[in-house]
A and B are shown apart, each in its own frame.
Chain A
């Protein structure tokens, strides 16, 4: 017989109470894991951004466009390796609930600057050659069961009308953080129609994407670009892709903060539940602890019994919680894929789950342990009978 055996048997003494506490911890760890994954998903764009890419936009707001003529001027700035451009199209596929992030891009240079979007060479060529073509990410193609050669019709919102594309390729992300939920088509296709329908909106782009060789020169190059267009009708604001993505997160920072707060609140609540369980347990067994002390067991033996039981309960709940986090995250990822392109449980989240379980297990047992260790044997024995 070992102390560990006694700890296990003690944990199973009140099976319903232990089971309910474990269930509570399982739910708390699951909630904590999903909320942490949600926060990570919020930052996925920032995570996926490259340090060798700059984004240049209209300094007034992203809503205002930039003239296409800037492209050559940017290309000539020392340190610039390549320039591409893109504009947010915001087309609707069938109905508004089918949200797909879609952009009009200059295909050749865009794909050169985004090597993380993997596309077979023949598909890449087909996309570049066909002005009415589009490519879509793996997740969005799976979601709508698109195949190469399918015709995709988007209803324009910013650019009114019905827009027809032929799907020429489905790209895969080279890394887990790469966004596979987007659709890209030719900027030229958009521009040609704008020339006919609303000529004042033609030859404009939303952002310039600038490839650079040396990330250490990002600040100087950004400054040089903005200086070039200083006092023009459309002044630029150039920043790293990370800073650009971060600006979107910052807009919703309050929500992220609330989610983070709630995730920690869940842990605090469950800590109170476990602490209550352990307090009840220790109170019921004060007499037994007094007997053990009488037999010669020291305070640290009692502490091991209580802490051990608390940890067994929290770790068991943690294991169940972690096991359930993966399918739940997958389900969330599928149902909310268009809002959160990357929704996967990170290793850090798992470590945080384990750390939280240990923290709760230890802290919940502190007060009952302190009381049990301090109790005088004679007082403890008086409570029996």
Chain B
């Protein structure tokens, strides 16, 4: 699928700091950048560089100090907690390093979880979940609990959960960080396919240069400052 040049994410003058007692620790300083729709972007940088914080801010799970973040034309920095929760439920899919599946729910139920917040009927939910699990190649494991699945399979369930609501933006924080090489390769291929075939905009935080190679653009963060140059792999 062709990438349009319209930015889906527009970040202007973003700063973020954390407080540790009376000490203020700056994490991100004056970040400005755009992410075009349908892009596959990798954010790299050493530990503590602020890449996960930036990802969290774009995904609307953390608050900025100053600056604006526009996602799909909406200023998410001015939204309330409730508005953000509603926005996240329909617009953002999350993939985490440790999969973060609910252990007492089956693969099917884990994927169904975000759909409980929609008005879909039970049958419609079932159809969506089965389609998502089919897409990640786990249709035959839908009744398995996370503990009965390998790490790679759990991450694929997590991806199915991320895409089941058909969000425009997928954010992934070290999605291959807890996987062996083969499983990591499968996950990266799956993400690349979601970007290529379904036009999902993906922002991926990674340490792994090999994983970053899968992205179209690599941006590097160092000490809270975004590198002006970006590497491009097309």
Do A and B form a real pair?
yes
Interface residues of A (CB under 8 A from B): 1-3, 5-6, 9-10, 12-13, 287-288, 291-298, 376-378, 381, 384-385
Q: How big is the B interface, by class?
A: 20 to 34
In the complex, the chain B residue whose C-beta lies closest to that of A3 is: B116
| B149 at interface by CB-CB < 8 Å | no
Query: For residue A292, which residues in chain B have a CB less than 8 angstroms away from its CB?
Result: 113
Q: How far is the CA of A295 from the CA of B89 in the complex (A)?
A: 5
Number of A-B contacts (CB under 8 A): 66
Q: How far is the CA of A288 from the CA of B114 in the complex (A)?
A: 13
Query: For residue A294, which residues in chain B have a CB less than 8 angstroms away from its CB?
Result: 59, 61, 88, 94
Central interface residue in A295, A298, A381, by most chain B CB within 10 Å? A295
Given contacts A296-B88, A296-B89, A297-B117, contact A1 B105 (CB under 8 A): yes
Q: How far is the CA of A288 from the CA of B53 in the complex (A)?
A: 19
Q: Looking at the complex, which of B36-44, B96-104, B132-140, B185-193 is the stretch in contact with chain A?
A: B96-104
Interface residues of B in 99-124 (CB under 8 A from A): 100, 102-105, 108-109, 112-114, 116-117
Q: Are A9 and B105 in contact (CB under 8 A)?
A: yes
Q: How far is the CA of A1 from the CA of B105 in the complex (A)?
A: 9
Given contacts A1-B116, A378-B61, contact A297 B85 (CB under 8 A): yes
19 CB < 8 A contacts A-B:
A1-B112, A6-B105, A9-B104, A9-B105, A12-B104, A292-B113, A294-B61, A295-B89, A295-B94, A295-B114, A377-B56, A377-B61, A377-B62, A378-B56, A378-B62, A384-B96, A384-B98, A385-B97, A385-B98
In the complex, the chain B residue whose C-beta lies closest to that of A378 is: B62
Query: For residue A1, which residues in chain B have a CB less than 8 angstroms away from its CB?
Result: 105, 108-109, 112-113, 116
In the complex, the chain A residue whose C-beta lies closest to that of B100 is: A291
Smallest beta-carbon distance A194→chain B, Å: 79
| B86 at interface by CB-CB < 8 Å | yes
Smallest beta-carbon distance B59→chain A, Å: 8
Given contacts A1-B105, A9-B105, contact A296 B86 (CB under 8 A): yes
Q: How far is the CA of A5 from the CA of B106 in the complex (A)?
A: 12
Q: Are A296 and B105 in contact (CB under 8 A)?
A: no
| B5 at interface by CB-CB < 8 Å | no
